[in-house]
Amino acid sequence: MKKLKKYVCIGSIVLMMVTIIVLCFILKSKVKTENRWKEAITNVKSYENMFSDSKDKSIAFQLTIAQLKHSNDSIFQELDNTRKELKIKDSKLKSLQHISSNFIKSDTIILKDTVFKNKGINIDTLLSDEWYSVRVGLRYPSSVTVTPKFKSVKTVIVSTKKETVNPPKKFFLFRWFQKKHTVLHVNVVEKNPYIESQDNRYVEIIK
């Protein structure tokens, strides 16, 4: 009788432990599924925002490394290729940004004297390549219009890196025992060869 009670007690404990493990697994799966659902909703909103009239704000996409690598989106592929060129590891990657913009301005010069004697002169010419174009217009009697256009495509990649708090020791064994902290690195890659990056400043808000 005592043995039976003992077996029943052990069986009850085992059953309770199995139940707890199963419940934990179900809860974990539920949370994971809910998070994936929220990420999918966020990405839908991001795509909707892309095709809206609003160009002043964007909604960030939420992707895993695997989703980024296997995405068919050409911009996501370009972002992934750029971070590979920079040799940034998957575990160190924090965020990726693609910023595309155009600069265009038209100026007209009207001279006092007649420059073009032919009254029918009305010439438009365009010089261009992938990143820059300039349209020049000539009008009778003395009007010259110049319209330059630049295209800027920036890739901004934020990653983390462990660095020594104090200047690193020359001998690698000594560096192992130095105190380290995590530093955010921001890489800005401008695709347009005519544009030179100057003062870039990024602030991380800490709590």
Structural domain boundaries in the chain = 1-53, 107-147
**Predicted TM-score (pTM) of this structure:** 0.66
Handedness of CA 15, 17, 22, 26 (dihedral sign): positive
CA–CA distance, 116 with 72 (Å, rounded to integer): 54
For residue 116, give the DSSP letter.
-
Average pLDDT of the residues in 61-67: 85
Q: What pLDDT shows up at residue 13?
A: 72
Q: What pLDDT shows up at residue 148?
A: 92
Top pLDDT among 64 and 30 is at: 64
Chain position carrying tokens 């007649």: 114
Q: What pLDDT shows up at residue 121?
A: 80
Main-chain dihedrals φ then ψ at residue 46, nearest 5 degrees: -65, -45
DSSP for 154-198 reads EEEEEEEEEEESSPPPSSHHHHHTS-EEEEEEEEEEE--TT----
Residue 106: is its pLDDT beyond 70? yes
In contact, 114 and 141? CB cutoff 8 Å? yes
Q: What pLDDT shows up at residue 133?
A: 93
Handedness of CA 200, 180, 68, 61 (dihedral sign): negative
CA–CA distance, 168 with 184 (Å, rounded to integer): 18
- Cα separations (Å) of 125 from 46, 103, 143, 145? 39, 19, 14, 10
Handedness of CA 23, 26, 32, 38 (dihedral sign): negative
Q: What pLDDT shows up at residue 145?
A: 92
Average pLDDT of the residues in 162-168: 78
